[in-house]
Amino acid sequence: VTFPDNMFGIDVASRRFFDKESPQLRPEEAALLIGTLKGTSLYNPLRHPERAVQRRNVVLRQMSKNQYITETEYDSLSSLSLEMAYSEEVRNEGLAPHFREYVRNEVEQLLAAIPRNDDEEPYNLYTDGLKIYTTLH
């Protein structure tokens, strides 16, 4: 799925627009990202924040209608202003960004279980000089 700024996948988009992993998204943040799928340029929250909020509220309304949130939650969430933590650090250029993101998630899960040395801290995918080999050339 392509989000604004040619972000592939909810994890990459959540890190780009909110600087957090997708499971950490609040309902209004998730609704904003899902709302952009209707028109990634038209509802891009950086270029058209008022349209993005209107579209977010449409998604929240549907969530309420389908009983994923209550009417009270809808009222509260739809009145919130747009708050993003935009981060350009997300790497989405190059070959197969969706595959690279999948590999990154898998490797981070594996590394979390392996202590680096006596200090019991896990390996850091970006700073510990690891080499990861995949089927992608």
- 112 or 76, which is more confident? 76
Q: Does residue 29 carry a pLDDT above 60?
A: yes
Q: What is the mean pLDDT of residues 105-127?
A: 77
pLDDT at 137: 73
Model confidence band, residue 100 (pLDDT cutoffs 50, 70, 90): confident
* Residue 1 pLDDT: 66
Q: Say if residue 71 is exposed, middle or buried (CB neighbours under 10 Å; 0-12, 13-18, 19+).
A: exposed
Q: pTM of this prediction?
A: 0.64
pLDDT given at position 47: 87
Specify whether the CB–CB gap between 44 and 25 falls below 8 A: no
Q: Which residue has the higher pLDDT, 122 or 88?
A: 122
Helix 97-112 to helix 10-18 angle, to the nearest 10 degrees? 80
Q: Where are the alpha helices (DSSP H) in the chain?
A: 10-18, 27-36, 49-65, 71-78, 97-112
